[in-house]
Structure 1
Amino acid sequence: MTCTLENHRAELASLLKPVFDSLGTQWLPVTSEQLCDRITSEDTFAVLPIPAFTNSQMDGYAVRSADLLSAAPDAPVSLPLGFTAAAGDPQLELQPGTASPVMTGAMIPAGADTVIPVEESATGTFPELVRCGHGTPSGQAAFTAPSPEGRFIRPAGVDLAAGALVAPAGTRLAPAMIAALASSGLTEIPVRRALKVALCTTGDELSNGQLAEGQIPDANSPMLAALLRRHQVEVRTIQLPDDPQGFVAAIDELQAEVDLIVTVGGISAGAYEVVRQALSPLGGNFHHVAIQPGGPQGYAQLGDATVLCFPGNPVSALLSAELFLVPLLREFNGLPEPRPGHYPLAAEASSPEHKHQVRRALIRDGQVTILDPGSHLVHDLARADALVHIPVGVTQLVAGQSIETWSMNV
């Protein structure tokens, strides 16, 4: 049975929706390297205001504005120096008629209501400064103009009040949002638990070590694991035997450990297609999708296990994941959709009339060159920087025509 690209996408979206919906909450430290791009599972509220306390916007002098009302260039007002307030120091108390040197980010001394930048003082520089507990302040600072209340003061909570909503449920945690969460005093963040996937390659011809005659390296495991991890997935890779009974036994063991099983290989029309042979009697659905490459596709629901089945050639495997699984992961994780580009075609290309062809391409000098469609050309896959979709019914593309491209390998 053959189905369209769109129909197969819809089938997998329906299959995976309950899987995504079943994922609970995981609490991660705000410092966790796993936090970036995760999705909040609950509304998160500020523990602290932002800023956490009223502080100075400038290096300067904290004073009472009333003490400088008469200051003028020809009649400067000199105030005795108090203790210096540095960032991280406890709050000081400003004595009336004095000036406390204050550094950017330091707490505004109690009683002060304005800050004069040091360069606006009569001398333009600080004299010798004394912090609380390190001696007795001496000297004076002179000012030649009044300073209104609130000048260069950042009030506590001016950005966000304590108890206010920082990030509603469903927020993707970009770096700036992580900074806001940390600044609001949150130490742990509720996020959707990461999808756990068992990535199962099949094929006695595959090896992860020394190659015997007739064997090839397993490129699918590291390739697809890297792709899935880019989309907030916890992946474990397993090589399953080319034996239907052993395959089913292994799948049964995995059901309680992961949310999704992705198999690679063993679903074509050959004589030794272990995935199809094992899962078809258990209700697995295997059909041909009208795409090239990656036509053979399958899926199954086995008790607690949802299984997606991709073909085994590396190009077909990667494009299957890009076409059918990655868009669902992007939607689930609130990641932005890729934006298409448009370029003139460097040379003509042809496509099968009844298949949606997905071709790798190179973008060079403002033109797009479509590469060979072969599903075994792994290096061509690696050097491509774009995908080109050629819909069903389009058999010929001519040089110079504008064509839509989608970035890949970025």
Structure 2
Amino acid sequence: MTRDPADERRTVEEHAAIVARMLEPLTEQPATESVPLDHALGRVTAAEVRSEVDLPLFRNSQMDGYAVRAADVRSAPVALEVSGDIPAGHASPVSLIPGTALRIMTGAPVPTGADAIVPVEDTELVLGRDDDLSGAVVEIRRPRKRGEYVRERGSDLRRGEVLVEAGTRLAPRHLAALAAAGVETVTVRARLRVGILTSGTELVTGSTPAFGQVYDANGIALAALVEEAGATVSMRASSSDDPAAFERILDDALHSSDLVITSGGISRGAYEVVREVLHPHGADVTTVAMQPGGPQATAVIGGVPVFAFPGNPVSTQVSFTVFLRGPLRAAAGLPAVQPMEATLTHRVVSVPGRRQFLRGRLDGDGGVAPASGPSSHLVAGMAQADVLIDIPTDTEVLDEGAAVTVWTL
């Protein structure tokens, strides 16, 4: 239903609770999918991954050098005959003849009978050449203990042990470990599919605006915000103020998305195409006691939640950050963005009866100052900000030095 303008404005907390309830079917039991490892960066594991192999896979050398028996070099310096060569990737098992050494490369299998590796810098080839080890003799300059520079099979991880925990956001280091264990695909939380629709005859994308037109900043901003929150953009389109045109792209978005976000067209003036199209579907069009981002609307059409934000660029970005960033991150398994406390470095005047989200910039010493004015069209000013300064509803003035809550952008 449409909220009467005489009604009390909805609080931020009330509207956030409504948004969260609408998203509960999507967030309480997230879907999963299997993805190739080379597409898994940043995804969140839906289950623990146990290794099906030992790591390392086999006993191998930690250094370039010579494989020996520790007992044969106890009295070093000592000269040993070089009985062969083991490069990395050597496929056939090799045995060490007691009283000799085998040249070995890093990562190569340690021969049977060897229990230590002598690094090449602690040796000298006294007979023979590097490219011809026939009849070669190497001098071992110092003794070695059993196990030195030998990587034992399974010393990193045993088969059946947990390689990556459930709920892990996969970073390059995790992908390396999975690849080393031969894992090719991993089960992760499926990304929510989000349709993004901007509205307004004045919007232009990919061409030079005529007089009275503006570039569409909201489409790309919302797409980036959605991706950053761990979801994926299933569709992105823009419509004029013609209801039939908007109805068409909305229908496409509803069929390809888990939820839809719109920007613009929900105020109480004329040409408010989103409000006009959503109203027959039982949309809740309301005003939230916040600035920017007061006009808000929600609807559920064919089981798909629709969240309509105001069209001014800063209002759109703040609305997403306040109402959708948290639920989308939770659905993706990402940690919540926690508020911080900072100290105002400038006096701030706020609007009575509105919870104001000022764009601010931290100074590195725990201080924060407004990065621009409060107007919702100041998109360049928004670009200079790194936090939102959260000014409570009942606050009119905060002096320099006052403690404030800030939210990282």
Judged with a 3 Å threshold, the aligned counterparts in structure 2 of structure 1 residues 126 and 180 are, in CA distance, closer, same or farther, namely farther
Contact 2:391 2:404 in 1 (8 A): no
Contact 1:291 1:356 in 2 (8 A): yes
Contact 2:81 2:135 in 1 (8 A): yes
Residue 201 of structure 1 aligns with which residue? 198
Residue 43 of structure 1 aligns with which residue? 48
> CA offset at residue 226 of structure 1?
1.7
Residue 318 of structure 1 aligns with which residue? 317
Q: Is 2:391 the counterpart of 1:404?
A: no
- State which drifts further: 281-290 or 163-172: 163-172
Residue 145 of structure 2 aligns with which residue? 148
- Provide Cα deviations, 1:275-294, integer angstroms capped at 9, x if missing partner: 12211221222211111100
Give the Cα–Cα distance (whole angstroms) in 2 for the partners of residues 10 and 51 of structure 1. 50
> CA offset at residue 221 of structure 1?
0.7
Instruction: Give the secondary structure class of the aligned counterpart of 1:320.
Output: helix
Give the Cα–Cα distance (whole angstroms) in 2 for the partners of residues 31 and 394 of structure 1. 50
Residue 218 of structure 1 aligns with which residue? 216
- State which drifts further: 385-394 or 13-22: 13-22
Residue 13 of structure 1 aligns with which residue? 20
Q: Is 2:108 the counterpart of 1:106?
A: yes
> CA offset at residue 104 of structure 1?
2.2
What is the letter of the counterpart of residue 224 of structure 2?
A: A
What is the letter of the counterpart of residue 395 of structure 1?
A: E
Q: Is 2:352 the counterpart of 1:353?
A: yes
Instruction: Give the secondary structure class of the aligned counterpart of 2:20.
Output: helix
Instruction: Give the secondary structure class of the aligned counterpart of 2:169.
Output: coil
Judged with a 3 Å threshold, the aligned counterparts in structure 2 of structure 1 residues 403 and 126 are, in CA distance, closer, same or farther, namely farther
Q: Is 2:59 the counterpart of 1:60?
A: no
> CA offset at residue 260 of structure 1?
1.4
Contact 2:127 2:135 in 1 (8 A): no
Give the Cα–Cα distance (whole angstroms) in 2 for the partners of residues 303 and 338 of structure 1. 31
Give the Cα–Cα distance (whole angstroms) in 1 for the partners of residues 127 and 45 of structure 2. 47
Judged with a 3 Å threshold, the aligned counterparts in structure 2 of structure 1 residues 230 and 167 are, in CA distance, closer, same or farther, namely same
- State which drifts further: 341-350 or 53-62: 341-350
Give the Cα–Cα distance (whole angstroms) in 2 for the partners of residues 338 and 196 of structure 1. 21
Point out where structure 2 has 5 or more consecutive residues left out of the alignment: 1-6
Instruction: Give the secondary structure class of the aligned counterpart of 1:380.
Output: helix
> CA offset at residue 349 of structure 1?
1.2
Instruction: Give the secondary structure class of the aligned counterpart of 2:23.
Output: helix
Q: Is 2:24 the counterpart of 1:25?
A: no
- Provide Cα deviations, 1:293-321, integer angstroms capped at 9, x if missing partner: 00111211111422111111000000011
Give the Cα–Cα distance (whole angstroms) in 1 for the partners of residues 116 and 223 of structure 2. 57
Residue 368 of structure 1 aligns with which residue? 368
Residue 118 of structure 1 aligns with which residue? 120
Residue 301 of structure 2 aligns with which residue? 302
Give the Cα–Cα distance (whole angstroms) in 2 for the partners of residues 288 and 127 of structure 1. 87
Residue 269 of structure 1 aligns with which residue? 268
- State which drifts further: 286-295 or 76-85: 76-85
What is the letter of the counterpart of residue 291 of structure 2?
A: Q
Give the Cα–Cα distance (whole angstroms) in 2 for the partners of residues 13 and 126 of structure 1. 77
| Structure 2 counterpart of 1:230, from 228, 231, 241 | 228
- Provide Cα deviations, 1:259-285, integer angstroms capped at 9, x if missing partner: 111111111121222212211221222
Contact 2:87 2:108 in 1 (8 A): yes
> CA offset at residue 252 of structure 1?
2.7
Instruction: Give the secondary structure class of the aligned counterpart of 1:359.
Output: strand
Q: Is 2:8 the counterpart of 1:4?
A: no
* 1:177-196 correspondence runs (5 A): 177-196=174-193
Contact 1:118 1:126 in 2 (8 A): no
Give the Cα–Cα distance (whole angstroms) in 2 for the partners of residues 127 and 309 of structure 1. 79
> CA offset at residue 126 of structure 1?
10
Judged with a 3 Å threshold, the aligned counterparts in structure 2 of structure 1 residues 314 and 86 are, in CA distance, closer, same or farther, namely same
Instruction: Give the secondary structure class of the aligned counterpart of 1:278.
Output: helix
Residue 85 of structure 1 aligns with which residue? 86
Give the Cα–Cα distance (whole angstroms) in 1 for the partners of residues 127 and 279 of structure 2. 82
What is the letter of the counterpart of residue 3 of structure 1?
A: R
- Provide Cα deviations, 1:32-66, integer angstroms capped at 9, x if missing partner: 3xx22211123322233222221112222111233
Give the Cα–Cα distance (whole angstroms) in 2 for the partners of residues 77 and 384 of structure 1. 68
Contact 1:61 1:102 in 2 (8 A): yes
> CA offset at residue 202 of structure 1?
0.8
Name the % identity. 39
Give the Cα–Cα distance (whole angstroms) in 1 for the partners of residues 87 and 14 of structure 2. 64
What is the letter of the counterpart of residue 12 of structure 1?
A: V
CA RMSD of aligned residues (A): 2.4
Residue 167 of structure 2 aligns with which residue? 170
- State which drifts further: 348-357 or 252-261: 252-261
Residue 4 of structure 2 aligns with which residue? none
- Provide Cα deviations, 1:320-352, integer angstroms capped at 9, x if missing partner: 111111122222333344455544423211112
Point out where structure 1 has 5 or more consecutive residues left out of the alignment: none
Contact 2:82 2:136 in 1 (8 A): yes
Give the Cα–Cα distance (whole angstroms) in 2 for the partners of residues 93 and 179 of structure 1. 31
Contact 1:256 1:304 in 2 (8 A): no
Judged with a 3 Å threshold, the aligned counterparts in structure 2 of structure 1 residues 68 and 172 are, in CA distance, closer, same or farther, namely same
> CA offset at residue 115 of structure 1?
1.4
Residue 3 of structure 2 aligns with which residue? none
